[in-house]
Amino acid sequence: MKYLFDSNILIAAMMAGDTRLQARMAECDEGDIVTSAVVYAEVAHGCMHGKQPALDYLDTFVEEVAVLPFDRAASVAYARLPFVRGSYDRLIAAHALSLGLTLITANERDFADVPDLQVENWMLPPDSSA
């Protein structure tokens, strides 16, 4: 495991519309990309309330991308984070931190204040800065 997909990246990957994202995913070995149960819950909630993609498509997609449980280590990492706002973002950041994974997101600014979190945006050109 190397990379934890945030909600917006998971959705973009399922919709297969971003060629940069697809190219970066193709460079990864099997098992390098995972997501969090928190991300799954956030995306599933959207699916059940009329947003794309459909829930069955989400379930098919996560057969290839492991959904990791939010465990005690993630809970402790969450408790240590400075709170600027409460949201899924803090839970997702804590999960990535607890596993030592790089968070892949299109919303780098949402995570800029999280100490020690490694963040990448695979939807930007390689020479772009966040």
Instruction: Tokens for 105, please give them.
Output: 């997101």
Taking CA atoms, 30 is separated from 14, 24, 25, 95, 98, in Å, by: 17, 13, 10, 20, 21
Q: 19 burial class (0-12, 13-18, 19+ CB within 10 angstroms)?
A: exposed
pTM: 0.91
pLDDT cut 70: percent of the chain above it: 94
| Sequence ranges of the domains in the chain | 3-120
Using an 8 Å Cβ cutoff, are 78 and 90 in contact? yes
Q: Which CATH class is domain 3-120?
A: alpha beta
Identify whether 115 is preceded by a cis peptide bond (ω within 30 of 0).
no
Q: What is the mean pLDDT of residues 96-107?
A: 98
pLDDT at residue number 85? 64
Q: CA-to-CA distance for 40 and 10, rounded, in angstroms?
A: 9
Using one digit for the tens of pLDDT, what is the confidence trace for 45-96? 999 998 888 888 899 999 999 999 999 999 999 999 987 666 899 999 999 9
pLDDT cut 90: percent of the chain above it: 78
